[in-house]
Amino acid sequence: MKRYLRIVAAVAVLALVAAACGGGEDSPSDTGSTASPGADIAQGGTLVTAMTQDFFYGLDPTQEYYSVSWEFLRCCMARTLYTYESVPADEGGGVPVLDISDGEPAVSEDGLTWTFTIKQGVMFGDPLNRQVEAQDFVNAINRLADADINGPGYPFYYTRIDGFQDAWDGKADEVSGAVAVDPSTFELTLNEPEPDIPFLFAMAATAPLPTELIEAHYDAVELGQFLVSSGPYQWEGMEGIDLTGKEPPTGMDIGRAYVFVRNPVYDPATDGRRPAYPDRIEIQVGGEVQDGLDKVDAGAIDWCIDCGVTATTLQAYSADPALAERLKTHPADALSYTGFNVFQAPMDDVHVRKALNWAMDKAAYMRLLGGPVAGVVAGHFVPPGMMGGLNADYDPYATPDNRGDIDKAKEEMAQSVYDTNQDGVCDGDVCTIQAFAVTNDQDAIKTLEIMNEGFSEVGITLDIQTQNYNTLVAKCAELAAHRAFCQAGWGKDYPSPYTFFGPLLDGGENGSNYSFMGTTEDALTEAGYEVPANFADLNITEDIKACQATPVGDAQNQCWADLDVRVMEELVPVLPRRFPNDNDVLGENIVNYSYDQFTGVGTVDKMALASAAA
Amino acid sequence: MGRYLVRRTLFMVLVLFIISIFTFLIFMKLPPGDPARRLAGKVTNEQILAQIRENLGLDQPLWEQYGRFAKGLIPVPGLWLDENVYYSWSNRQAVSDEIRQRFPITATLTIGSAILWLLMGIPLGIISAVKRRSVADRAGMIFALIGVSAPTFWLGLIFLYVFFYILGWAPATGLDIGDSLSQSILSGEFILPWITLAITSAAFYTRIVRGNMLEVLSEDYIRTARAKGLSEGRVTYRHALRASLTPVVTMLGLDVAGLLGGAVITEQVFSLPGLGKYAIDSLNGLDFPPVMGVTIVAALFIVVANLLVDIAYAALDPRVRFT
């Protein structure tokens, strides 16, 4: 399941809860790092966890593109030049901070050369037990640029590194712009300025990969099974392992169970951000969501990593104050939305798109998903915490109690070419559009029904059908499929609005862009469309580049916020529905908890255990 | 007998071949999605998709793709489930290794529950037949009705809820990390799965044994045996039961063989990492090689079991001859 799916799936099981749950009137607890009152926070103990969905690629840092995998790489196994504080956004959790980089890098005046000094004392664990070196970072970038390895990852973010595209295209064996000047100096040369370097080099794919490991286990997934840790933990069984052998360490039973133990040569003095409370972390893979939550409740495990919360658990935990403390809820830096194909009738008319934004009853939609615990109504495109708080209350289509405003919707529709008599109702067969939900996803089907109720008032009828998830996603991403309307969810790759604007609203047919903005005229023609007169306007590529060129900070945030406004008021390629929450249910044994805003998962190494203090 | 075995073996190969073709076509020609797109990540392009298809051989003609997989079905070392073809497209693990590691778990589940359902079903069936229309018979038939009607997943979830969650008598789902299979058995982690799987089959066997026994007990030779003064016990257990169990042997062989291919629902409910769970997880992930591997292994169990049952049937019933 892809990363954004986890966010959608984590709250998709919520259903309407009886009034006894609190009726959704209470605000969800939005706590950052919290310790249980009176609890002793100590190192030690075994954190016993489960997850219903396995790591996707055996914790191969180059390939993993999944929030849970990223958390275990960040907390435990794969330090990077930059990292995050692993706290909520309002505590600075979305700002990259230095990790292996010893001080700020030296950046040339033109922004094209970044020189990092590797901090001394950062060690690879068993069986290497040696200092991390610059060549290890070069290895990571070279492997990231290997198209044979890296289908599922995020290499497209790194094409500004000199030579990266050539290596990707097979024209070069190595990325010329990633160089080990000496063992403790790593230099990046870019072909154009990239202010997002701190974000990009906090990603697991840039974590140092020792040459010894590359030479022994270069292949996809296999490398993860033998991953030599640079963090506070390592696979159980790594001590004494023959890195050239075929048997993975005992703690790496792919698809079934994982065990992390302490990296004996990890030096906390080189870190300062990872308290690494548990001595040992166990993960059992498999099972269903409710089963995982029942095990937490029964004390069989401390935490179900990807279970979120179900209606049953929500009811139980909301009703009991003692249990409510163990339910943690945070904004997920994600968006549930509807994508409009801006080239496909009737969505090729901005007035239709605006009318639908006015017409949707978002309050009914939120009630369907369980109220405030499921998140907040989305009034714009980029989640609230990702632009330094800007646009937090911005909603150009705000309606009383979020119930939709049919009058305003009709006013908008009356300006559309598809309302031939300007009565506020779409006319003609083109006004019936297919809308797909994943088969057996009752929440998704009911969401479409709720939308249809409002849309039908302005003459847009949804022909609701179901389809297998993989086919649905594939068709929505295919320009030639002519789908006007697609339901979607998205989570950030890193805490920059670029990771929303870029993949979702730019680049044409890129697999995630259901609006197809940024496509070419040739691609449109080939797919059977007529190129519209306003084709040049349906493009935000230059706007994105302008914001990226702005230095990270308030100025860049403002740039993104302005683009957010332009998207919502001028272009309207989406109908934002909800900014979801991440929810965690903790076992009694956990006495300290933090939420990692970057990964959207509980911070593993900050989970202190009552059993450790006892 | 020799010619019979040769003929049956050839037939077995033909059956496996047909199953492999159907499996391949269903997965490749009628897919619920594109495996390459699923593996490509959320932002992709045609170049990445083409690369993945090339890596997985999906860009080859269908007959060539099938040929690669078909070669891996030849039961010769080096060819059987060849690691270069039969590996998971998502986690790159060799299908043969996974099957080898998961089979003992499925076998434990199957054999344990088979013993239980025989211990439950046969005595209940006998009692129901011998004490026909008694309270014991009625109770036996009600048990059979419930057992046959209740879905396995429902039974499993109910047992989990009551015995693990409420009473705390049973361990949680899954197998404890670091425990060997025997340790898992001894710590009781298979008890609820055994009972869950056994109940449905026990219900069937109760009815079958009861029906067969009633039929046999009305035979002339049974009346003759009684007339000759044999005790009721001897009549029932030495004469009637043996004849009644012949169809049970057939069923047992096929049931066990079928479950050895993966007790899918039970493994899913109890999170047991056996063949059934492997198949389901692979199907959900559009991971064809494990699907093909498990399907063929499961089919192999069934056809071999069919053959063994036929041989056993002939041994039990002297009237049966190989033709």
Contact (CB<8Å) A511/B40: yes
Is A363 within a domain? yes
Q: Which of B30, B34, B37, B43 is most worth mutating to test chain A (most A CB atoms within 10 A of its CB)?
A: B43
Partner-chain contact B43 A295, CB within 8 Å: no
Residue of B nearest to A53 (CA): B281
Q: Are residues A591 and A561 in the same domain?
A: no
A85, part of any domain: yes
CB A2 within 8 A of CB B42: yes
* Residue A544 token pair: 């994105």
Residues in chain B within 8 Å Cβ distance of A294: 160-161, 164-165
Same domain, A138 and A266: yes
Q: How many CB pairs under 8 A join A and B?
A: 119
Cβ distance B33 to A222 less than 8 Å, yes or no, reads no
Mutation target among A295, A492, A500 for the B interface, most CBs of B within 10 A: A295
pLDDT, tens digit, for every residue of A572-598?
Answer: 999 999 999 999 999 999 999 999 999
Q: How far A567 CA sits from the closest chain B CA (Å)? A: 20
- Smallest CA-to-CA distance from B284 within B60, B38, B9 is with B38
In chain B, residues under CATH classification 1.10.3720.10 are 99-284
Taking contacts as CB-CB distances below 8 angstroms, the residues of chain A near B41 are: 2, 65, 151-154, 511
What is the radius of gyration, based on Cα positions, of chain A?
Answer: 25
Q: Nearest residue of A to residue B43 by CA position?
A: A511
Q: What range does the domain containing A346 cover?
A: 334-429+484-578
Query: Is there a single domain that holds both residue A233 and residue A344?
Result: no
Looking at the fold, whether A281 and A386 belong to one and the same domain comes out as: no
A102 lies in some domain:
yes
pLDDT given at position A128 = 96
**Contact call for B277 and A286, based on CB within 8 A:** yes
Torsion sign, CA atoms A490, A493, A496, A499:
negative
Contact B55 A148 (CB under 8 A): yes
- Contact list in B for residue A152 (CB cut-off 8 A) is 39-41
Kindly list the residues from chain B whose CB atom is less than 8 angstroms away from the CB atom of residue A288. 268-269, 271
Q: Write out residues in chain B with pLDDT < 70, as ranges.
A: 31-34, 37-45, 316-323
The pLDDT score that the predictor gives to residue A8 is: 46
Residues A278 and A357 in one domain: no
Cβ distance A255 to B174 less than 8 Å, yes or no, reads no
Residue B310: in which H helix or E strand, if any?
helix B288-316
Q: Are residues A560 and A609 in the same domain?
A: no
Closest CA to A404 of A189, A575, A200: A575
Instruction: Give A203-239 pLDDT, tens digit per residue.
Output: 999 999 999 999 999 987 889 999 999 999 999 999 9
**Are A471 and B178 a contacting pair at CB < 8 A?**
no
The answer to whether the CB atoms of B174 and A471 lie below 8 A apart is: no
Q: Which of B39, B165, B268 sits opposite A152 (nearest CB)?
A: B39
A304 belongs to a structural domain: no
Residues A344 and A219 in one domain: no
Best probe of the A interface among B177, B196, B265, B284, by most A CBs < 10 A, is B177
pLDDT of residue A19: 37
Closest to A468 (Cβ–Cβ): which among B32, B178, B273? B32
Q: Which tokens sit at B8?
A: 């049956």
Shortest Cα distance, chain A CAs vs residue B296, angstroms: 21
* A455 within domain boundaries: no
User: What pLDDT sits at residue B310?
Assistant: 78
A244 shares a domain with A149: yes
Q: What is the pTM of this model?
A: 0.86
Q: Identify the segments of chain A with pLDDT beneath 50.
A: 1-2, 4, 7-32
Regarding whether A591 and A571 lie in a shared domain, the answer is no
Half-sphere exposure of A386 (CA within 13 A, CB side): 28
The torsion angles phi and psi of A397, rounded to 5 degrees, stand at -120, 35
State how far the alpha carbon of A52 is from the alpha carbons of A1, A595, B267, in Å. 11, 20, 14
Query: Would you give the DSSP letter of residue A592?
Result: E
Show residues of chain B in contact with A149, CB under 8 Å. Answer: none
Residue type, A147: A
Closest chain A residue to B274 measured between Cα atoms? A256
Give the max Cα distance, chain A.
79
CB contact under 8 A, B178 and A287: no
CATH architecture of B99-284: Orthogonal Bundle (1.10)
Do A174 and A67 share a structural domain?
yes
- Using the beta-carbon criterion (under 8 Å), do B286 and A470 form an inter-chain contact? yes
Indicate the burial class of A104 (C-beta count within 10 angstroms; 0-12, 13-18, 19 or more). exposed
Cβ <8 Å between A511 and B165? no
Nearest of A524, A517, A533, A514 to residue A575 by alpha carbon = A514
Domain contains A259: yes
Please name the member of A147, A300, A511 whose beta carbon is closest to the beta carbon of B42.
A511
Give the whole-angstrom CA distance, residue B29 versus residue A408. 48
How close A243 gets to chain B, by Cα (Å)? 18
Please choose, from the candidates A286, A227, A291, the residue with its C-alpha nearest in 3D space to the C-alpha of residue A260: A227
Q: Determine, yes or no, domain membership for A55.
A: yes
CATH number for the domain harbouring residue A221: 3.40.190.10
Which of chain A's residues have a Cβ under 8 Å away from the Cβ of B273?
255-256, 285-286
Q: Does ipTM top 0.90?
A: no
Kindly state whether residues A187 and A247 are assigned to the same domain. Answer: yes
Q: Do B173 and A287 touch (CB under 8 A)?
A: yes
Residues A112 and A154 occupy one common structural domain: yes
Chain B residues inside the 8 Å CB shell of A221? 91-93
